[in-house]
Amino acid sequence: MDYRVLESLRRKFDEPEDVEGLDVTDDAFSAENETAATTVDLGPFPLTELILKDPVRLDRMIRESDQQVQMLPRLLATSLVAFTIFGIAMTLVLSAAGVWPHLTPIEQSLATSHPWLIQFERHDTATFWTPWLNGDAFRLIAAYAIGLIAATGICLPSLYFYGLLAGVRMTMLDVVTHAVKSKAVAAITLIGIIPIYAALGLAIAIFSLPVLSRDAVLLLGLLLPFIAGLSGTYSLYRGLSMLTDTMKPEQKLHRQCFLQRLVISWCGVYSAVSPVLIFTLWQRLQA
């Protein structure tokens, strides 16, 4: 066979196929890559990395209905694990300091002149493992893990109605997903704060600090979930702000500020409900 015929056939087969009606452009490839990029492994470590490194991408992902169903239990599990770790760390600090909180019921504190709801009592006969043996450690862990999640569930209807007042079109599943996502962000932030607080707890165990300073450091530890919750508040606002694209263009400019105020109001409601719920649950478990 002639060499020129073979070369012509080779060139013909090497040329890209021209399919009529198919426009393969760079935009199409970019869209395909972007779609593939949104499909990530939803394991605990990749999800934690996504929360820390690319929160905006996480907010875009949880707007998809199929992603919401998959990510909701994983975000909830992340929150529960993080709050459990906090409870363990706080128990270790209290055990190292040789004290344990004594809770006075709220109704008893209001009926008497007893001003303090929480007092840190020292037990000379107690050992480092006493809170684990008598169950006090498990009560603390359960009070925080269950109380923080339950407070979010109690306040969810108000968040849904606040969103409707702001003009944001969202379903109840959207509200639940964004609220649980903000809780997971706060839980991851709490894990990052624990090593810093552990240094203060070590100082309590090593040095003989005044009782007032010791109690202030221990009380700060019990308030750490609410301090870390500020990051969850910002995450919630950022996620709900992305939903303003469902508003009409003439309403978006004015309603966005209104939405910010409503989110802050909801966080105020949650900040009032969650400490009372945790304290009541903890006190009932101790009783």
**44-48, 133-137, 199-203, 277-281, range with the lowest pLDDT:** 44-48
Position with higher pLDDT, 99 vs 123: 99
Measured between alpha carbons, how far is 47 from 40 in angstroms, rounded to an integer? 9
Contact 45, 77 (CB under 8 A): no
Q: Please, which pLDDT band fits residue 19 given cuts at 50, 70 and 90?
A: very low
112: left (phi over 0), alpha (psi -120 to 50) or beta: beta
Helices then strands (H, E): number in the chain? 12, 2
Tally the C-alpha atoms within 13 A of residue 71's C-alpha that lie toward its C-beta. 31
Torsions phi, psi of 169, nearest 5? Answer: -90, 110
> Across-strand partners of 125?
none
Looking at residue 35, its pLDDT comes to 40
- In the predicted model, is pLDDT for residue 163 greater than 90? no
Retrieve residue 134's tokens: 């008598």
Looking at residue 10, its pLDDT comes to 53
- In the predicted model, is pLDDT for residue 140 greater than 80? yes
**pTM of the predicted protein model:** 0.77
Looking at residue 85, its pLDDT comes to 93
Contact 162, 264 (CB under 8 A): no
- What long-range pairs does 2-8 form, CB within 8 A, spacing at least 24? none
